[in-house]
Chains A and B, each alone.
Chain A
Amino acid sequence: MLILARKTGESIKIGDNITLEIISATGNTVKIGIEAPKEVGIFRKEVYDMIKNENITASAVNLSDLSKLNDLDADDLKNIKK
């Protein structure tokens, strides 16, 4: 891992299009400003991991899941609609 020391107001470039700026550092909290192209997803890592893991779990679709859903009918679902 590359480690760089930066002062408040200083920045880091990642490639041509991404800039990280240190906005402030108080105690153990650092505020970082991020400029990146709009198609680049920016997430707190714990949120990213949570969504990615859920996507991976959800992608393990098998045929029996699908046939269970196919066995449902609109009446089954009507009863649950609030």
Chain B
Amino acid sequence: MNTINQETEILVKSIYYPEGVAVEKTKIIEFVKPILGFDSLKKYCILNINKEKNLPFFILQSIENDKLCFIVADPNYFFKDYAASITDEEKELLGFKEKTDVILFVIVTVFRDLYSSTVNLKAPVVINVKSRKAIQTVLNNGLYSVKQKLPIIKQDADNPKTA
């Protein structure tokens, strides 16, 4: 069972961690511009899918609704040149001071066939790790799709796994 330090941690439940995981209160992020369609839910945390593996995928878990989560990915792992610019108003909302305080995630739509999964490059999640404020921003530069296929390839006879 999970023991948590009531003062500094909360127990976050998730479909993936039905018994809950202890999350430091300082790691809770608050959306100051909501995930569109989920306006009333503002508090989330980032959970690992697998601590041992260095996967570029994480769970963006709602703290207010244990049934709600998103799979998010580090976009630059897959798309090296991907970048998002945010407006001055958004910088202010995030309490943005330095570029290095901000991390970028894209929301993954996981398909039954994992290798058909897509990511939303048009509306990334921007998190200021210092202020713990987050937004879903919408990039209007015309470069990015909401359904960009993830460039992952099935390892089979034609694509043997090589070390």
Kindly state the separation between the CA atoms of A52 and B50 in the bound complex, as whole angstroms: 28
Tell yes or no: B128 within 8 A of A by CB: no
Q: What's the tally of chain A residues with a CB closer than 8 Å to chain B?
A: 34
Stretch at the interface among B4-12, B19-27, B89-97: B89-97
Q: Are B36 and A55 in contact (CB under 8 A)?
A: yes
Please name all residues of chain A whose beta carbon is closer than 8 Å to the beta carbon of B50 when the two chains form the complex.
70
Taking the closest CB of chain B, its distance from the CB of A55, in whole angstroms, is: 5
Q: Are A39 and B161 in contact (CB under 8 A)?
A: no
Given A50-B146, A51-B122, A76-B161, CB of A41 within 8 Å of CB of B33: yes
Tell yes or no: A58 within 8 A of B by CB: yes
Partner of A51, one of B15, B59, B68, B120: B120
Partner of B55, one of A51, A62, A65, A77: A77
0 or 1 for each of B84-118: is its CB under 8 Å from A? (1 = yes): 00000110110000000000000111100010000
Q: Are A56 and B37 in contact (CB under 8 A)?
A: yes
Q: What's the tally of chain B residues with a CB closer than 8 Å to chain A?
A: 49
B16 and chain A: residue at smallest CB distance: A66
Given A47-B138, A79-B155, CB of A54 within 8 Å of CB of B107: yes
Please name all residues of chain B whose beta carbon is closer than 8 Å to the beta carbon of A74 when the two chains form the complex.
53-55
Determine chain A's interface SS by DSSP, over half rule: helix
Tell yes or no: A61 within 8 A of B by CB: yes
Between B53, B77, B147, B162, the greatest number of chain A beta carbons within 10 A of the residue's beta carbon is seen for B53
Taking the closest CB of chain A, its distance from the CB of B10, in whole angstroms, is: 21
Q: Are B151 and A82 in contact (CB under 8 A)?
A: yes
Please name all residues of chain B whose beta carbon is closer than 8 Å to the beta carbon of A70 when the two chains form the complex.
49-50, 53, 55
Q: Which of B145-163 contact A (CB under 8 A)?
A: 146-147, 151-153, 155, 159, 161-163
Please name all residues of chain A whose beta carbon is closer than 8 Å to the beta carbon of B37 when the two chains form the complex.
51-53, 55-56, 59
A interface residues, Cβ below 8 angstroms from B: 38-39, 41, 43, 47-48, 50-59, 61-63, 65-66, 68-70, 72-77, 79-82
